[in-house]
Amino acid sequence: MAMAAAEIERMIKEALPDARVEIKDLAGDGDHYAATVVSEAFRGKSRVQQHQLVYAALKGNMGGVLHALALTTSAPT
C-alpha cells in the first residue's frame, strides 16, 4: 500500500495552511518519502510536538498506509 506525494502534501496543508511542504520519493516506489515541513505552527514547540502536528495532519495514515516518512520540521526563519 502506498500514498501519493500530492496526497501527503494536501493533507499537511489542510491542517497547516501556511506550511511549506517539500516531499521527496526516496526509493521511487511511492512508499518511502522524505518530507520537509516549515510552518509558523511549529514555533516554540519541541521536535516531538512538531512531528506530532504533522502526524495528526496525516490522520492515522502514518505508521499504517504510510510506513516510511522521514520528517524534518522547523519554523520559518
Partner 1 sequence: MTTPAHAKIDAEVKSGDVVLFMKGTPQFPMCGFSGQVVQILDYLGVPFKGVNVLDNDEIRQGIKDYSNWPTIPQLYVKGEFIGGCDITREMFQSGELVELMKTNGVAVRETAS
Interface residues with partner 1 (CB under 8 A) are 47-48, 51-52, 55, 60, 62-64, 68, 70-72
Smallest separation, CB 70 to partner 1 (Å): 5
CA gyration radius, the chain: 12
Smallest separation, CB 63 to partner 1 (Å): 3
Neighbours of 16 (CB within 10 A): 21
Smallest separation, CB 68 to partner 1 (Å): 7
Q: Which CB, 13 or 55, lies closer to partner 1?
A: 55
